[in-house]
Structure 1
Amino acid sequence: MSFDQSNAPFMERLVFNNRLAVVIIFSLVSLFLGYQALQVRPDTSFAKMIPLEHPYIVNMLEHQNDLANLGNSIRIAVAIEDGDIFSTEYMETLKQINDEVFFLPGVDRSNLRSLWTPNVRWTEVTEYGFDGGPVTNHPSYTNEEDLEELRANVLKSGEIGRLVANNFKSSIIEVPLQEFYPNPDNQSELLRLDYKQFSHLLEEKIRDRFQSENPNIKIHIVGFAKKVGDLIDGLIGVVGFFGIAFVITFVLLYMFTWCIRSTVSVLVTTVIAVIWQLGLINLVGFGLDPYSMLVPFLIFAIGISHGVQKINGIALQSGGADNALVAARLTFRQLFLPGMIAILADAVGFITLLVIKIDVIHELAIGASIGVAVIVFTNLIMLPVTISYLGISKKAVERSKRDAVREHPFWRFLSNVAHPNVAPWMVIVALVAGTTCFVYQKNNIKVGDLDAGAPELRPDSRYNKDNDFIIQNYTTSSDILVVMVATPPEKCSAYETMEAIDQLQWKMQNLEGVQSAVSLVTVAKQVIMGSNEGNLKWQGLSRNQDVLNNAISRAPSGMFNAACSLAPVMVFLDDHKADTLKRATAAVEEFAAEYNTDDMEFKLAAGNAGIEAATNEIISSSELLILVLVYIWVGVMCMITFRSLPATICIVLPLILTSVLGNALMAFLGIGMKVATLPVIALGVGIGVDYGIYIYSRLESFLRQGMPLQEAYYETLRSTGKAVLFTGLCLAIGVATWIFSAIKFQADMGLMLTFMFLVNMIGAMLLLPALARFLINPEKVRKSSGSKLSH
Structure 2
Amino acid sequence: MADIMKQEDKKTLLDRLSWFLTRYRLIVLALILVITAAFFFGALKIKGEVIFTDMLPYDHPYLKLHETFSKIFGSGGSGVVIAVKTNNGDIFNEATLAKVKKITQEIELWDEVYRALTVSIASHSVKVVTAKSKGEISVAPLMFPDVPKNPEEMEVLKKNIFSNPAYNGTLVSKDGTGTIILTEFKENISYERAFQLLQKLKKDYADNQTSIHITGYPMLMGWIYSLKPQMYKIFGISVIGIAVILFLVFRNFLGIISPLVNAGILTIWGLGFIGFTGINFNPMLYVLAFLVGSRMIGNSVQITYRYFEELNISGNDRSRACYETMRTMFIPNFAAVATDAAGFLVLLLAKIVLMQHLAIIMTFWMMSIILTGFMVPVICTLIPLHVAGAVWDKERSRTGLVAGIMSKITNFSISPHGRYVVGAIIVVIAVVCTWQTSKLKIGDPTPGSPIFYDSHTYNRDQAMIDKTFDASSENLMLFYEGQKDSAYNPTVLNTFEGFERHIRKTLPDIYKSSTSIMDIMKMTNVTYHDGDKLWCQLPRNLTMSTGLMNMVKQNTPRGTFERFMDATGERAQTTLFFSDHTSENLLRIRDAAYDFFKTRPMKIDKGEFKLAGGRIGLEIALNEEMKRAHVIIDLTVLGAIFLLCMLSFRSVTAGLMLTLPLFLANSVAAAYMAWKGIGLSINTLPVAAIGVGVGVDFAIYLYSRCREEFPLQKGDWVATITQSICTCGKAVVYTGTTIILPILSWYIFSDMKFQSEVGFFLAMIMGTNVMLTLSLHPLMIYIIKPKFISRNLAVEEAVRETKEQQ
Counterpart position of 1:572: 577
Farther-moved stretch of structure 1 (432-441 vs 136-145): 136-145
Counterpart position of 1:306: 299
Counterpart position of 2:557: none
- Distance in 1 between residues matched to 2:351 and 2:363, nearest whole Å: 17
Q: Is the 8 A contact 1:30 1:276 kept in 2?
A: yes
Question: Counterpart amino acid of 1:177?
Answer: F
Does 2:359 correspond to 1:351?
no
- Other structure's SS at 2:478 match: strand
Counterpart position of 2:643: 636
- Distance in 2 between residues matched to 1:469 and 1:249, nearest whole Å: 42
What is the CA-CA distance between 1:504 and the residue it aligns to?
Answer: 2.3
How big is each residue's C-alpha offset from its partner over 1:551-592, in whole Å with a ceiling of 9 and x where there is no partner? 444275223222222232322222111111101112222333
Does 2:745 correspond to 1:745?
no
Does 2:695 correspond to 1:694?
no
Task: Decide which of 755, 759, 779 is 2:764's aligned counterpart.
Answer: 755
Question: Counterpart amino acid of 1:195?
Answer: Y
What is the CA-CA distance between 1:271 and the residue it aligns to?
Answer: 2.3
Counterpart position of 1:434: 430
Counterpart position of 1:468: 463
Does 2:448 correspond to 1:453?
yes
Counterpart position of 1:190: none
Counterpart position of 1:79: 85
Counterpart position of 1:183: none
- Distance in 2 between residues matched to 1:458 and 1:262, nearest whole Å: 39
CA pair 86-747 structure 1, distance change in 2 beyond 3 A: same
Counterpart position of 2:267: 274
CA pair 396-106 structure 1, distance change in 2 beyond 3 A: farther
Question: Counterpart amino acid of 1:626?
Answer: I
Counterpart position of 1:649: 656
CA pair 155-126 structure 1, distance change in 2 beyond 3 A: farther
CA pair 69-356 structure 1, distance change in 2 beyond 3 A: closer
Does 2:512 correspond to 1:515?
yes
Farther-moved stretch of structure 1 (593-602 vs 557-566): 593-602
Farther-moved stretch of structure 1 (621-630 vs 524-533): 524-533
Q: Is the 8 A contact 1:265 1:383 kept in 2?
A: yes
Farther-moved stretch of structure 1 (222-231 vs 75-84): 75-84
Task: Decide which of 333, 336, 351 is 1:339's aligned counterpart.
Answer: 333
Q: Is the 8 A contact 2:129 2:527 kept in 1?
A: no
Farther-moved stretch of structure 1 (168-177 vs 33-42): 33-42
What is the CA-CA distance between 1:243 and the residue it aligns to?
Answer: 1.4
What is the CA-CA distance between 1:597 and the residue it aligns to?
Answer: 2.3
How big is each residue's C-alpha offset from its partner over 1:415-447, in whole Å with a ceiling of 9 and x where there is no partner? 3223454334423331332123212311x1111
- Other structure's SS at 2:737 match: helix
- Other structure's SS at 1:619 match: helix
- Distance in 2 between residues matched to 1:780 and 1:754, nearest whole Å: 33
What is the CA-CA distance between 1:233 and the residue it aligns to?
Answer: 1.3
Q: Is the 8 A contact 2:394 2:727 kept in 1?
A: no
What is the CA-CA distance between 1:88 and the residue it aligns to?
Answer: 2.3
- Other structure's SS at 2:239 match: helix
What is the identity percentage for the equivalent residue pairs of Structure 1 and Structure 2?
Answer: 24
Does 2:227 correspond to 1:234?
yes
What is the CA-CA distance between 1:156 and the residue it aligns to?
Answer: 5.4
- Other structure's SS at 2:597 match: helix
Question: Counterpart amino acid of 1:713?
Answer: I
What is the CA-CA distance between 1:396 and the residue it aligns to?
Answer: 5.2
Task: Decide which of 285, 290, 293 is 2:283's aligned counterpart.
Answer: 290
Question: Counterpart amino acid of 2:216?
Answer: G
Counterpart position of 2:776: 767
- Other structure's SS at 2:77 match: coil
Counterpart position of 1:709: 717
What is the CA-CA distance between 1:306 and the residue it aligns to?
Answer: 0.3
Question: Counterpart amino acid of 1:747?
Answer: S
Farther-moved stretch of structure 1 (235-244 vs 577-586): 235-244
- Distance in 2 between residues matched to 1:452 and 1:381, nearest whole Å: 50
- Distance in 2 between residues matched to 1:503 and 1:41, nearest whole Å: 46
Q: Is the 8 A contact 1:113 1:119 kept in 2?
A: yes
What is the CA-CA distance between 1:26 and the residue it aligns to?
Answer: 2.6
Question: Counterpart amino acid of 2:429?
Answer: A
What is the CA-CA distance between 1:391 and the residue it aligns to?
Answer: 5.7
- Other structure's SS at 1:114 match: coil
Does 2:320 correspond to 1:326?
yes
Does 2:107 correspond to 1:101?
yes
Q: Is the 8 A contact 2:522 2:536 kept in 1?
A: yes
Q: Is the 8 A contact 1:426 1:766 kept in 2?
A: yes
What is the CA-CA distance between 1:782 and the residue it aligns to?
Answer: 5.0
How big is each residue's C-alpha offset from its partner over 1:283-319, in whole Å with a ceiling of 9 and x where there is no partner? 1102331233223311211011100111110111111
Question: Counterpart amino acid of 2:105?
Answer: D
Counterpart position of 1:677: 684
Task: Decide which of 198, 215, 231 is 1:202's aligned counterpart.
Answer: 198
CA pair 568-9 structure 1, distance change in 2 beyond 3 A: same
CA pair 641-137 structure 1, distance change in 2 beyond 3 A: closer
- Distance in 1 between residues matched to 2:69 and 2:634, nearest whole Å: 35
CA pair 524-149 structure 1, distance change in 2 beyond 3 A: closer
- Distance in 1 between residues matched to 2:304 and 2:213, nearest whole Å: 54
How big is each residue's C-alpha offset from its partner over 1:754-787, in whole Å with a ceiling of 9 and x where there is no partner? 1111112212221112223343345963566459
What is the CA-CA distance between 1:524 and the residue it aligns to?
Answer: 4.3
Counterpart position of 1:20: 26
- Distance in 1 between residues matched to 2:539 and 2:567, nearest whole Å: 22
Counterpart position of 1:9: 15
Task: Decide which of 603, 607, 616 is 1:609's aligned counterpart.
Answer: 616
Q: Is the 8 A contact 1:415 1:710 kept in 2?
A: no
Structure 2 counterparts to residues 35-46 of structure 1, below 5 A:
35-46=41-52
Counterpart position of 2:210: 217
Counterpart position of 2:127: 121
Does 2:546 correspond to 1:549?
yes
Does 2:490 correspond to 1:482?
no
CA pair 506-766 structure 1, distance change in 2 beyond 3 A: same
How big is each residue's C-alpha offset from its partner over 1:642-673, in whole Å with a ceiling of 9 and x where there is no partner? 11122222111221101111111111112111
Q: Is the 8 A contact 2:310 2:321 kept in 1?
A: yes
Structure 2 counterparts to residues 615-630 of structure 1, below 5 A:
615-630=622-637
Question: Counterpart amino acid of 2:154?
Answer: L
- Other structure's SS at 1:173 match: strand
Question: Counterpart amino acid of 2:212?
Answer: I
CA pair 523-95 structure 1, distance change in 2 beyond 3 A: closer
- Distance in 2 between residues matched to 1:598 and 1:781, nearest whole Å: 73
What is the CA-CA distance between 1:42 and the residue it aligns to?
Answer: 2.2
How big is each residue's C-alpha offset from its partner over 1:684-743, in whole Å with a ceiling of 9 and x where there is no partner? 111111111101111122234542322211011121111101111222223211113111
Structure 2 counterparts to residues 26-37 of structure 1, below 5 A:
26-37=32-43
Q: Is the 8 A contact 2:603 2:609 kept in 1?
A: no
- Other structure's SS at 2:282 match: coil
Q: Is the 8 A contact 1:36 1:279 kept in 2?
A: yes
- Distance in 2 between residues matched to 1:146 and 1:522, nearest whole Å: 24
- Distance in 1 between residues matched to 2:126 and 2:799, nearest whole Å: 85
CA pair 604-396 structure 1, distance change in 2 beyond 3 A: farther
- Other structure's SS at 1:75 match: strand
Farther-moved stretch of structure 1 (478-487 vs 153-162): 153-162
How big is each residue's C-alpha offset from its partner over 1:150-197, in whole Å with a ceiling of 9 and x where there is no partner? 4344345632222222222332222221124xxxxxxxxxxxx22113
Q: Is the 8 A contact 2:131 2:138 kept in 1?
A: yes
- Other structure's SS at 2:506 match: coil
- Other structure's SS at 1:291 match: helix
Does 2:428 correspond to 1:422?
no
What is the CA-CA distance between 1:327 and the residue it aligns to?
Answer: 0.7
- Distance in 2 between residues matched to 1:147 and 1:788, nearest whole Å: 102
Counterpart position of 2:592: 587
- Distance in 1 between residues matched to 2:625 and 2:289, nearest whole Å: 26
Structure 2 counterparts to residues 725-740 of structure 1, below 5 A:
725-740=733-748
What is the CA-CA distance between 1:147 and the residue it aligns to?
Answer: 3.5
How big is each residue's C-alpha offset from its partner over 1:504-533, in whole Å with a ceiling of 9 and x where there is no partner? 223211223323444445554554454444
- Distance in 1 between residues matched to 2:273 and 2:151, nearest whole Å: 64
User: Number of aligned pairs?
Assistant: 774
How big is each residue's C-alpha offset from its partner over 1:620-652, in whole Å with a ceiling of 9 and x where there is no partner? 111111110000000000010111122222111
- Distance in 2 between residues matched to 1:47 and 1:498, nearest whole Å: 31
